[in-house]
Amino acid sequence: MDTTPLNLRRRSFLKLSGLGLFSLVGGGYIAARLTDGTAKALLPKATNLSPASQQMLLKIFDAILWDMMPKEQDPLLLTSAIATLDKGISALPPAIQKELIGLLDMLTFAPSRFALAGRWSGWENASRDEVSAWLIALQTSSFELRRLIYITMHDISTSSFYANPQTWSLVGYNGPLLHGPGPEV
């Protein structure tokens, strides 16, 4: 067994936004400024997610969660998960908020998406199969940064989805046994 500890000095660290992704796409773009300005907002009032990010997340959440959904409720449950995420971002420390929003902006931006394997012409035109293939390419990538993006997309979609009590019956959970509010002590 190789028991040598990692050489700390030779390690490099992943950043979701900023240099990490910029270097991956060849550098230099101000992604957030160049994203699709024509995208229609899904949420009537969003605090953190741009309309373009909302439309992109609808496609990504769908590719991750489609098999969990009772057909007739599809769009509603996904939109509600996106709303939960939008609200949840405000509870994150400012530096992580920036990192996550930066990543989403960058993924809505065509050149970076291209670099990350999605070759379709815009998120609104991407099919479920295309987005799934893109996600699986990230999941199985040999690059840590790509796997990190996959894990981030997976975790934000699923944690926002299962936050909604309406999804609990889909997984056989009848909800908490105790309900608040309890007494102050």
Partner 1 sequence: MSIMSKRNLLDASTLTADRTYTTDVVIIGTGAGGGYTAEVLTKAGLKVIMVEEGAYHTAKTFSQNEAEATAMLYQQGGAQKTKDKGIVVLQGRCVGGGTTVNWTSSIRTPANTLKHWREHHGLKVFSDDELAPYFTEVEKRLNMNPFEEFEPNANNSILAKGCAALGYEWHRINRNVNGCANSGLCGLGCPINAKQSQMVTTIPWALDNGAMLISKARADRLIHDGQKISAVEITALDTSAVNDTNHKITITAKHFVIAAGAMRSPALLMKSQIPDPSSMLGKRTFLHPVIAVAAEFEHKIDGFYGAPQTVNSHEFLWPKQTSKNPNDNKMGFKLETIPVTPMLAGAFFDKGIGKSHASRMKSLPHLNVIDALCRDGFNDTEACGTVEIDSNGNPTLDYPITQTLIETARNVIDKVFEIQFAAGAKTVSAWHIDNPKFTTLKAAKSWLKTADLGLLKGMYGSAHVMGGCQMGKDEKSGVVDTNGRHFTIKNLSIHDASIFPSSTGVNPQLSIYATTLRNTKNLTKHLT
How long a stretch of residues is the chain? 185
Q: What is the DSSP letter of 127?
A: -
Least separation in angstroms between residue 122's CB and partner 1 is: 21
Stretch that binds partner 1, among 41-49, 107-115, 118-126, 168-176 (CB under 8 A): 168-176
Query: Between residue 6 and residue 65, which ones bind partner 1 under the rule CB under 8 A?
Result: 6, 8, 11, 13-14, 63-65
Looking only at residues 62 through 121 of this chain, which bind partner 1 when binding is defined by CB under 8 A?
A: 63-68, 84, 88, 90-96
Instruction: Say which residues have a Cβ less than 8 Å from residue 20's Cβ, sequence separation at least 6.
Output: 14, 145
What's the min distance (Å) between Cβ of 34 and partner 1? 25
If we measure between CA atoms, which residue out of 24, 20, 12 comes closest to residue 111? 24
Stretch that binds partner 1, among 42-50, 103-111, 117-125, 177-185 (CB under 8 A): 177-185
Say which residues have a Cβ less than 8 Å from residue 165's Cβ, sequence separation at least 6.
175
For residues 124 and 55, is the Cβ–Cβ distance under 8 A?
Answer: yes
- Cβ(31)–Cβ(112) below 8 Å: yes
Q: By C-beta, is 6 or 30 nearer to partner 1?
A: 6
In angstroms, the CA 15 to CA 40 distance is: 29
- What is the contact surface with partner 1 in residues (CB under 8 A)? 1-6, 8, 11, 13-14, 63-68, 84, 88, 90-96, 132, 135-136, 139-140, 144, 147-148, 150-151, 154-155, 158-163, 165, 167-168, 170-173, 175-185
